[in-house]
Amino acid sequence: MPESTLSLVIGNKIWSSWSLRPWLVLKHFQIPFEEISVKLRQSDSKTALLAHSPAGKVPVLRDGDMLIWDSLAIIEYVADLYPDRPVWPRDRIARGVARAMCAEMHAGFQQLREVCPMDLFASKPMTAFPEGVEHNIRRIVQSFRDCRTDYGRDGPFLFGSFTAADAMYAPVCSRFRTYVPDLRSFGDDGTAKAYVETIFATPEMELWATAARAESALD
């Protein structure tokens, strides 16, 4: 096991969906790291972010002198650095599906992100959605059901035990709680609802939420 020199730069826990993803992986798999927080939506936020990465965005992982400035790339880097931790499913086929799901999350669902940004504690149920958002929600609900049916029988997560796929979709679970508390009209048979509850019941998600409340109280 390598001696850790990792630090993770993240944004406000109440909003920063991309920060949440690698943070959950590091916490769940007990990988030591230093957490550095940068306040977003401030007049000096861009300057503060550029002090950590030329990309000017969060999250950023620093390992010694090296920077990794993308959520999925950070997760892949950590998986390579700690091959003893099952960041990805051990089964080859399940691992391929998990990576495909993560890539779809990483590159897609833009309409859902724009209309329903992560707002961790908000309750803003919507009764109607643009067509693109509805399509995004239906696709995610279907993916949750398919993964739980095909690969998740040995545990409560998408692939049974917690993996990178769960970390990548955790912010979507937050969006569902905020904007789409009833997923039945989007094809949910109860699987997606139960999965959202599973994510929010994890110790890591509870820890993130507790810290988000503390941050908000200081603002």
Give the pLDDT confidence of 141-191 residue by residue, as tens digits.
999 999 999 999 999 999 999 999 999 999 999 999 999 999 999 999 999
Mean pLDDT for 195-204 is 98
Count of CB atoms situated within 10 Å of the CB of 123: 9
Q: How confident is the model at residue 3 (pLDDT cuts 50, 70, 90)?
A: low
Contacts of 101 (CB under 8 A, 6+ apart): 143, 147, 158, 165, 168, 169
According to DSSP H, which parts of the chain are helical? Answer: 17-28, 45-50, 71-81, 92-107, 110-115, 131-150, 164-179, 191-201, 203-218
Domain with CATH 3.40.30.10 in the chain: 6-86
Q: Predicted confidence band at 4 (pLDDT cuts at 50, 70, 90)?
A: low
Residue 1 has pLDDT above 60, yes or no: no
Residue 101 pLDDT greater than 70, yes or no? yes
pLDDT at residue 216 in the model: 82
Work out the angle between the directed axes of helices 164-179 and 131-150 (0-180°, nearest 10): 130
End-to-end CA distance of the chain: 39
Place of tokens 């998600």: 205
* pLDDT band with cut points at 50, 70 and 90 for residue 219: low
- The segment(s) of the chain belonging to CATH 1.20.1050.10 are 92-203
Q: Give the range among 55-59, 77-81, 131-135, 144-148 with minimum mean pLDDT.
A: 55-59
| Arithmetic mean of pLDDT over the chain | 94
Q: How confident is the model at residue 71 (pLDDT cuts 50, 70, 90)?
A: very high
Q: Is the pLDDT of residue 99 over 60?
A: yes
Q: Which CATH class, in words, describes the domain spanning 6-86?
A: alpha beta
Q: 0.85 cut: is pTM over it?
A: yes
pLDDT at residue 28, rounded to an integer? 98
Q: What is the mean pLDDT of residues 81-103?
A: 98
- Residue with more model confidence, 52 or 70: 70
pLDDT at 196: 98
Pair of tokens at residue 97:
């599906």
Q: Which fold has domain 92-203?
A: Glutathione S-transferase Yfyf (Class Pi); Chain A, domain 2 (1.20.1050)
Q: Does the pLDDT of residue 192 top 70, yes or no?
A: yes
Query: What confidence score (pLDDT) does residue 48 get?
Result: 74
